[in-house]
Structure 1
């Protein structure tokens, strides 16, 4: 039975690597996959999904107004499809998450969505909110804070290593970077304006 899966985590947990591995597993069995990626994330160029460890694949770009049920249906007319995978699923709109449920329920095709759960202010992304609400299966991909605890939160830091408290939820590029931390460390750094030294933790530049 087809299901909608949401694989979520903080940054630097290998979500894109997991997505590409899942796609490869299908292809190894002679099945066809469709990888979708948001037009918002253009770090590696348009139509490319690339992991931090260097593996990559072509993808179909969608914007926030795209009807994903129609997009998948159109792709299915030109080639057989067995699975849809969505990178950076936090950038989905509410309506697009609903459209992905239609891919599962009407086209009987599994959908694997990968994304962040919360932003640098601890707030849910729109796509993540509705994936958490409507997905059939929720799967957490774990990563570690520099304190050794499980990292569940994301902090945006400036070029001086200080936590950024305000700003747009979505920011691709620029001088700010992101680190994954435990909830306790997030509270200490974010609310007390603690400083994260670059020597304490590696700053993820690619894979989210």
Structure 2
């Protein structure tokens, strides 16, 4: 029975690498998969999933008008089947997109694995993350360590010109120069007023 999986983690936890690995494992066995990536994430191009270890993979871009259910349904050619749908940067999905994923699972009986951030740099849930936490059959944390200590990273700090910031638009694409995965303690310490 197909299920909707949400695998969340901070930046640098290997989510995109995991998607590429899962797709490879299915396809090595001759089992077709479909990969999606939100169109807003253009860091590696609009039709590409890219991991920090340098691997990339083609994906179908998802903009606000995309219907992932109809795309998947249109690619099923009996007796062939789709074995899994993989979604990168799922935090950028809308509620409607998440409901489309539930239909892929429930009506087409195709498992869906969505990977993304849970919370933003202000520790607010993204729209996609919120709805995946509500609708997913299984939720799993992809773990990594804090940039500054050896604790588990659960948050992210955004930087501007090397200084931690906690104001600004929720979505601002960036890499290691803009964001660091951190534990709660290091996050709190970064925003404590300095004694002068």
What TM-score range do you get, normalising by the shorter chain? over 0.9
Q: Any unmatched runs of 5+ in structure 1?
A: 195-208
The CA deviation at 1:76 is 2.4
String of CA shifts for 1:125-154, please: whole Å, max 9, x gaps.
000001011101111110001211000001
1:62 is aligned to: 62
Over aligned residues, Cα RMSD in angstroms?
A: 1.8
Contact conserved, 1:20 with 1:56, CA < 8 A, in 2?
Answer: yes
Bigger shift: 76-85 or 138-147? 76-85
The CA deviation at 1:71 is 1.7
Q: TM-score, normalized by length of structure 2?
A: 0.92
2:122 is aligned to: 121
- Aligned equivalents of 1:84 and 1:121: distance in 2? 30
String of CA shifts for 1:159-201, please: whole Å, max 9, x gaps.
1x211121100012599600000011111213x157xxxxxxx
Query: Relative to 1, partners in 2 of residues 1:176 and 1:34: Cα closer, same or farther, differing over 3 Å?
Result: same
Q: Any unmatched runs of 5+ in structure 2?
A: none
- 2:189 aligned counterpart, secondary structure: helix
Q: How many residues align?
A: 192
2:155 is aligned to: 153
- Aligned equivalents of 2:115 and 2:182: distance in 1? 19
1:19 is aligned to: 19
Contact conserved, 1:163 with 1:193, CA < 8 A, in 2?
Answer: no
- 1:173-192 equivalences under 5 Å are 173=174, 177-190=178-191, 192=192
- Aligned equivalents of 1:108 and 1:163: distance in 2? 44
2:164 is aligned to: 163
